[in-house]
Amino acid sequence: MSIVKDKFGKVALYMLLSIIAFVTLLPLIWMLSASLKLESQVFSVPIQWIPQDPQWSNYAKIWEKIPLALFTFNSVKITVIVTLIQLATSSFAAYGFSKCKFRGRDTLFLCYIITIAIPWQVYMLPQYIMMNKLHLVDTHWSIILLQSFTAFGVFLLRQFYQSIPEDLLEAARIDGLSEYGIYTRIILPLSKPALASLTIFSFVTVWNDFMGPMIYFNSTKVKTIQLGIRMFISQYSAEYNLIMAASVVALVPVFVIYLAFQRFFVEGIATSGLKG
């Protein structure tokens, strides 16, 4: 009986998870379906999930309506640069907080992590004033500099680094390897799962950022794809099929990054909290 109950429990659990996954993906499925319809068919009842005559031309029209190629390039540029910088700064700081012993280390780490709890609205205005005095408003450098450091990334990698045995690092020090050598030759190669997880988190966060670019970017030439979609909505508010097509295009890079790093993602999340 216990075996039957276990199998029944697993089947019920898988069915529940499948239903939750389907409900979660339903808006994305509708968005994809709407992007391939005529404007008059988007809100038709009953919903036609698979269009009989897919309007692939919708994806060509959105590039003509607004400078979507420029917005996409700006988003890719900012997101890639910020993600790489966050990986470098977070991994280096996490190594110092986890494997280097110095006075006040834990207190300093605690103070740094507390910043996660501070709402962005609290320091939004001081940041803008600082960027304005540096004449970086309406440039990509404003977003790049403000997002180059992430306390969450340091916390995530520190938790993973603490699972690496100290004996391994001590052996490397005895062999004459410097701290920089240990960081580049031992820590980083062993941290691929955690680095992949941070890559996904950083990429998605920066790519989907709307408030930051809206505050700092005024010129069309520096705007990102999220601001481009907002511009598209304000100009073509009735053409929901084209709006959905632009939204699908904005999601493609996120899916590509996730598919590229998915084999490390689950492992990184599971192992980053083993110790700490």
- For residue 66, what are its two tokens? 């607004």
pTM recorded for the entire structure = 0.85
Cα–Cα distance, 82 to 202 (Å, whole number): 8
Could you report the average pLDDT of every consecutive run of 10 residues in the chain (276 residues)?
70 89 90 88 82 87 87 94 95 90 88 88 90 92 92 91 86 86 88 88 92 91 91 79 89 87 66 45
Residue 274 confidence (pLDDT): 44
**Domain 61-271 in CATH 1.10.3720.10:** yes
List the domain boundaries for the chain.
Answer: 61-271
Residue 180, pLDDT score: 87
